[in-house]
A and B are shown apart, each in its own frame.
Chain A
Amino acid sequence: DQQVKQNSPSLSVQEGRISILNCDYTNSMFDYFLWYKKYPAEGPTFLISISSIKDKNEDGRFTVFLNKSAKHLSLHIVPSQPGDSAVYFCAARFGNQFYFGTGTSLTVIP
């Protein structure tokens, strides 16, 4: 029973362009949504989050958008840089439980 889904396993973007990573969820009780970035042989590191009562949160080049009616969130990275190449996990929190998607591997081409 996968409550958080990332339907695109991979994404390639040219350096300087926008990267858009998508995520869908099923549980309307989630109160926070998070994006994590993961490099090979390392643990996931927190990138940005958004409360369920907001629809947008911005931090530098990273912006997360939340559409509660569609149960959909997205992460925008602009401009994309080669160092952004990693696997991005979408996560949702309910109480003290975090549920993760399967990740999207982003490749930023120089």
Chain B
Amino acid sequence: DTAVSQTPKYLVTQMGNDKSIKCEQNLGHDTMYWYKQDSKKFLKIMFSYNNKELIINETVPNRFSPKSPDKAHLNLHINSLELGDSAVYFCASSQEGATTEAFFGQGTRLTVV
């Protein structure tokens, strides 16, 4: 039973398009995250979100926006895609105060052509 699942696993799209990546967790966690792993393999936090606050990494362009329809989902919307957005995007979740670690999805490889 997958704890954190993302769809799609692979996404190829043209520059200028708008796309979404979905993420769901069945762990009952209260905080979800989006990370970007670029060509240099650096895992960089983009957003963290719980029912109290959204924390945005200030370096993330405003073309990226997280949308949380409920506690178990945090989707990533990307507008006007650019070549430089090509990367692997990971969703993760954790429970404040209860666990020390974050649990990750399998990643979505986004390729912008």
Contact = CB atoms under 8 A, between A and B. Distances in A.
Interface residues of A, number: 24
Contact of A44 (B31, B40, B90, B100): B90
Interface of A: 2, 32, 34, 36, 41-46, 49, 51, 87, 89, 91, 93, 96-103
B42 A96 contact: no
Interface stretch (B43-51, B60-68, B76-84): B43-51
Nearest to B49: A96
A43 B43 contact: no
7 contacts: A34-B100, A42-B107, A43-B104, A43-B106, A93-B100, A98-B102, A103-B43
Interface residues of B, number: 25
Given A43-B105, A100-B35, A32 B55 contact: no
- What DSSP secondary structure best describes chain A's contact surface? strand
Nearest to B6: A43
Contact of A97 (B4, B40, B55, B106): B55
Contacts of B102: 46, 91, 98
Nearest to A43: B104
A103 B90 CA distance: 15
Contacts of A101: 43
